[in-house]
Structure 1
Amino acid sequence: MDPHTDPSASPGILQLARKSSITFQDRRDSLPRSNSGEQVMERHLDLDLTYITERIISVFFLPELEEQRYRGNLQEVAAMLKSKHQDKFLLLNLSEKRHDITRLNPKVQDYGWPDDHAPPLDRICAVCKAMDTWLTSDPHHVVVLHCKGNKGKTGVLVAAYMHYSKISAGADQALTTLAMRKFCEDKVSSALQPSQNRYIYYFGGLLSGSIKMNSSPLSLQQVLIPSLPNFQAEGGYYPFLKIYQSLQLVYTSGVYDPQNSRARTLCVTMNPALPLKGDIM
């Protein structure tokens, strides 16, 4: 269906779509000059819709967006995507599961995890496989990464797919990689948590073979932080430790007062030792 004639799509979004939609050849010609690998089709205070590449789209909603406005914007985005890509788009939901998203587009897969956490490695791998399977099955297929909340979630998966797609790199892979890298650097790098950056590194290492998974359980007996940061000269914070195994909380320490220790160290001892296996945060 031609987006110029589809009455169900939002005129405002479609007008921007017509202005910013480019062909792959246009992107090939413009990237060296503009040094930009993304096309923003719709940007206002509520959402940011970006064509990371011609076939990978990011749709980000602010976490504090009021529910009614969020649903209205979601309907607009769905109408635009249907008018431009018909039934050729797969939506990967990186936030909490919502039935209204499925009603707008039946091709939805849920991969959400808590904000400000890194996703488990098996979930990163599952998303990359889903993206690759969908994109390689039809040259007209596109993937939409939906996120409401922490934009770092999108950054983790785009960076991970950048590593993953290099395994079966084609002739145009260098340009696609450049576009994904520019998106990560320009749009989401500041939103990435340290654990999210670390899991991007882990995933890349697993793919390259430089990191090996340990399948045997280990026992954690003690966590030592040799130097606590001094956020305020007179205190102002009370650290504690939480340990997650595959996103499940398995240990919470007591709250510590760093002012009681002149050495400004923190030592947490588990008694008995805590058995751990798999993804640990």
Structure 2
Amino acid sequence: MGFPAEKLEGVYRNHIDDVVKFLEAKHKGHYKIYNLCSERSYDVSKFQQRVATYPFDDHNPPKMELISPFCRDVHAWLSEDKKNVAAVHCKAGKGRTGVMVCCYMLHSKEFLIASEALNYYGQMRTHDRKGVTIPSQRRYVEYYSTLVQEQLEYHPVSLIIQEIHLEPLPTFNGGQVSLQLVISEASKRVFSSGVYEIKKGSPNFQIRLDQYIPIQGDIKIEFFNKPKMMIRKACQKSYINFQMTPRVFLAGISWALYLRILLTGGWDRDTGENWQAQGGGAMGRRLDLVWWMWGNWVWMAKRVEIVLGSWEKMFHFWFNTFFVREEATTVPEQVNGIENADTSIPPPERSTRAMSYDEQSRLPSIHFKHP
């Protein structure tokens, strides 16, 4: 449901007094509220103190650590009495609510596949059957489906970021682009690059960090276009679908994770229209990240956010390194100057990061080759 609002906001959202009257009339003594909003709250005494909060930001997925406790809480409440009901809400009662409701349906085995849970939610919640539309939110439902299906215990992952590739570059009016890279750990900035002047017609952008940046927790990577004149210009806001094709390669004695992210298609979250790059043609982005595994298998989630344009975020996405499939490879053989793909070792069924600690102890020690 939507946020139980008050005063003027209660005119166009669910008014909190109306919500209380409905629940007291239909489910008196048998309802519990689940608030997913990180940005706001209300007087929980109106709901007999039966309000649990699992907060995360609008248009974003929850932390992986938040999903399982929510599902267990809801399941425990519903199992107490067959009359019990759970009322889950965010602001509009669609995106964040859909993520957690779909995860619970997977948790309770109502559905076994994420797509089925998402489709069912879309049919029951929205007229257009779209339901949860933000790719990162849908991805985290897929993540939780993987945990449930494969009976995995989630462990956060910590890595070191070394190198970033962006190809192709977006088309900017005016030709030359000045890009700056900023890396933040949660709300703390840990790295800010210089300004890179990119000429018109450049096929790609590559930055190799002078030092390895250890990152842990929620990580944000931003690209800014630094204009010659400090003029703020509104850019189109889009969420972009993407596919991940990651692989891990073995270089000497150093393990590294080469993550290639393909971005295809997109839609404007404000207008709902399909988005295409300036100059025509379908939207296409590829972000290559080279990660070096760091420490003694410390575990944490990762967030990547890309900002393109004049101080305006165009899109962002999240992924979690626990779910990145790995592939150990030898140095590719050259056949007539072309790498022979047959020399690579097929990827395992699941990430080595999903192994038990006993299994991990049999892995080779991790060392780093610094440039």
TM-score range, shorter-chain basis? 0.5 to 0.7
Alignment of 1:127-166 (within 5 A): 127-149=70-92, 151-166=94-109
CA distance in 2, matches of 1:236, 1:118: 34
CA distance in 1, matches of 2:176, 2:9: 35
Number of residue equivalences: 215
Segments of 5+ residues of structure 1 without an aligned counterpart are 1-58, 170-175
CA distance in 2, matches of 1:209, 1:107: 33
CA distance in 2, matches of 1:241, 1:276: 15
CA distance in 1, matches of 2:127, 2:197: 37
Matched-pair contact (CA < 8 Å) for 2:4–2:13: no
- 1:92 partnered with 2:114: no
Partner of 1:205: 146
Partner of 1:123: 66
Alignment of 1:1-281 (within 5 A): 59-61=1-3, 66-67=8-9, 69=11, 73-96=15-38, 100-105=42-47, 106-149=49-92, 151-166=94-109, 180=121, 182-183=123-124, 186=127, 189=130, 192-209=133-150, 213=154, 215=156, 217-230=158-171, 234=174, 248=187, 251=190, 253=192, 260=199, 262-277=201-216, 278-281=300-303
Matched-pair contact (CA < 8 Å) for 1:152–1:188: no
What is the CA RMSD across the aligned residues, in angstroms?
4.0
Instruction: Kindly provide the amino acid, as one letter, of the partner of residue 197 in structure 1.
Output: R
Residue deviations 1:223-259, cap 9 Å, x none? 22222344x65579987666566x6555565697786
Instruction: Kindly provide the amino acid, as one letter, of the partner of residue 168 in structure 2.
Output: S
Matched-pair contact (CA < 8 Å) for 2:176–2:198: no
Instruction: Kindly provide the amino acid, as one letter, of the partner of residue 217 in structure 1.
Output: S
TM-score, scaled to structure 1: 0.61
> Could you say which structure has the higher helix fraction?
1
Deviation at 1:79, TM superposition (A): 1.3
Deviation at 1:166, TM superposition (A): 0.8
Deviation at 1:90, TM superposition (A): 0.8
**Bigger RCO (CA 8 Å, 6+ sep):** 1
Deviation at 1:100, TM superposition (A): 2.9
Identity of aligned residues (%): 23
Give the 3-state SS of the residue equivalent to 1:189 in structure 2.
coil
Give the 3-state SS of the residue equivalent to 1:222 in structure 2.
strand
> Could you say which structure has the higher strand fraction?
2
